[in-house]
């Protein structure tokens, strides 16, 4: 069972590293060009670890928090009792 877990984790790490290599812009790849990194991923058993440690540029700052998509509620009365026209009609 432990062997199967190691194999599954190795395959998952390989798949993650390949997708990360594909998604990384060429300007953010360190040391070697992307095609050589792909060959290293395929040939070396520790290729995915090498890519994750040395191949990509680490972000300099954490990403900014999301602010909720920019939607703001429309201005105006919130309920009928907040509307002066409604209150005049009572």
Render pLDDT for 32-85 as a digit per residue (tens, 0 to 9).
888 998 898 888 788 888 888 888 777 666 666 666 666 776 776 577 777 788
pLDDT of 4 strictly over 70 = yes
β-sheet bridge partners, residue 29: 56
User: Shortest CA distance to 17 belongs to which of 31, 35, 32, 38?
Assistant: 38
Q: What is the pTM of this model?
A: 0.60
Angle between helices 34-43 and 2-23 (to 10 degrees): 170
């Amino acid at each position: 069972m432990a062997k199967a877990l190691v194999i599954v984790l190795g395959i998952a790490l390989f798949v993650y590293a390949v997708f990360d290599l594909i998604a990384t812009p060429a300007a953010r790849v360190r040391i070697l060009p992307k095609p050589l990194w792909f060959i290293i991923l395929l040939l070396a058993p520790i290729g995915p670890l090498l890519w994750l440690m040395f191949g990509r540029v680490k972000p300099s700052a954490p990403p900014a928090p999301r602010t909720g998509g920019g939607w703001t509620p429309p201005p105006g009365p919130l309920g009928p009792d907040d509307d002066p026209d409604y209150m005049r009609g009572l």
